[in-house]
A and B are shown apart, each in its own frame.
Chain A
Amino acid sequence: MVTAGTSDEQIVERALAGDVDAFGEIVCRWERRIFALAYGILGREEDARDATQETFIAAFRNLRGFRGEAKVSSWLHRIAVNQCITRQRRARVRAENSLEAETEIGGEKFAAPAAASPARQAEGRERTEAVRRAVTGLPPELREVIVMKEFEDLTFQEIADTLDVPLSTVKSRLYTALKQLRLRLEKYGVEAAHV
């Protein structure tokens, strides 16, 4: 039986041994975080949902390829980021990657908690929307690294391995991404103290 204390690696071992429900537990544990990662990179809820599903489908199909050398979380992140990158490339080919133009898509869906006052909710929504626009407006290569770092707290090395780029590239991209976000948030009038 899978309990909260069971590690991801143990669950994957069970899934490999034929336990049908084991992989479902992996999905339950990681689906929200993978969705958030995909949303951070892609900037659209629908795309993020599809990318999340495709991530778990790919993981399930390649379950036997998981050798246990890396953590299950790193393995899933790598699959998810690859799914997002593939989607971005497809979108670029279709010339549909004008994320700045998609100003209102998905922004209303991530509202502040209902416990806050209406004014506070409106303020929170405005700031959340500003951050979303700032992040999704970054170039894809910067967006990928900042989301992987800020959303999943992957190490520089893990990001480098996932994207197959040098460690120095990861650091420089992160620095550039942070600088651009700072500028964009200032442009949108978001004050760090209130966010």
Chain B
Amino acid sequence: MNETTKTNNCERVGELIAYFYGEANSTERENFNAHLASCSDCRDELAAFAGVREAVGHWRAEILKTAPALSFANALAPPQVKAEPVAAAAVSQRSALTTLREFFTLLPMWLRAGAVAATLALCALAALAVLNAEARWDNGGLAFSTRLRSETKTAPPQIVAPTEKVYSQAELDNLVAERDAALRELEDTRAQLDDSREANLIAAIGTLEPALVSSTSSTPKGSRRERRIAPSPNARQKRLRDERYEEDMPRLYDLLNEAN
């Protein structure tokens, strides 16, 4: 290819290309071989084209050697999905760091020292928290404690049962005697009340009896009604006591209700 490129004036360039790339059939190849023996232009051109093929082939080999491998996932990923978000995140992270650094350099010396001290204290606290951290799993669930706050050893409030006063036998006897006396007094009072009520009733009956006798004088003597209204004083008193006793007795129906 150092020689000056000559123009191929031959008109059989179509055959030359098929011959050159090996796509001519056997007859065409034989014919072109015969032509080459007599055509220097075609011979020169074939030699030059071979050099071009070699150069292009070398270039292709270089491309294949250094071609970036494309993973299957990348090949099937949408073309617009690229590593741009990662790059943007990196840029934003860089800019934040730069801003922080610039801010720190602008601070006065005493404020820088204070910031450093505060940072160290914070780190120490964090370290303490990590070192003293305790995780516990019990019936109450998961509990996590950093023990940063001092534990006060206060005992839990205890429920104290009321202490019972111990009585001596004599005191107990006195108490029993007092109770019996009170019961007796209660019984006496109740008996006096009953007597007074009874007396009142008898007096009321005594006042009503003459009127009743007069109003019922027409009724036959010795009838059951007369006998019931005018009993003897003892029988009447006994009947009143019986009635009062029946009233004081709890009824079966009431007992059942209470039981329910």
Contacts and interface: CB of A to CB of B under 8 A. Distances in A.
State the main secondary structure of chain B at its contact with A. Answer: helix
Given A32-B67, A110-B59, A135-B59, A192 B51 contact: yes
Contact of B75 (A31, A45, A172): A31
Given A182-B5, A192-B54, A195-B55, A156 B23 contact: yes
A128 to B, nearest CB: 5
Interface residues of B, number: 41
A175 interface: yes
Nearest to B56: A150
B106 to A, nearest CB: 42
A43 B68 CA distance: 15
A60 B76 contact: yes
Nearest to B15: A171
Contacts of A36: 60, 63-64, 67
Nearest to A134: B55
Given A112-B62, A146-B56, A150-B57, A183 B67 contact: no
Contact of B67 (A35, A190, A192): A35
A127 B58 contact: yes
B141 interface: no
Contacts of A27: 70, 72, 75
Nearest to A152: B60
Nearest to B70: A31
Contacts of A186: 1, 5
B66 to A, nearest CB: 5
Contacts of B48: 182, 192
A27 B77 CA distance: 13
B66 A109 contact: yes
A126 to B, nearest CB: 12
A49 B70 contact: yes
A190 B48 CA distance: 12
Nearest to B3: A186
B60 A40 contact: yes
A32 B75 CA distance: 12
Most chain B beta carbons < 10 A, residue from A24, A50, A127, A171: A171
19 contacts: A32-B69, A33-B64, A40-B63, A53-B70, A56-B70, A57-B75, A57-B79, A128-B62, A131-B58, A135-B56, A150-B57, A156-B21, A171-B18, A172-B14, A182-B1, A192-B51, A193-B51, A195-B54, A195-B58
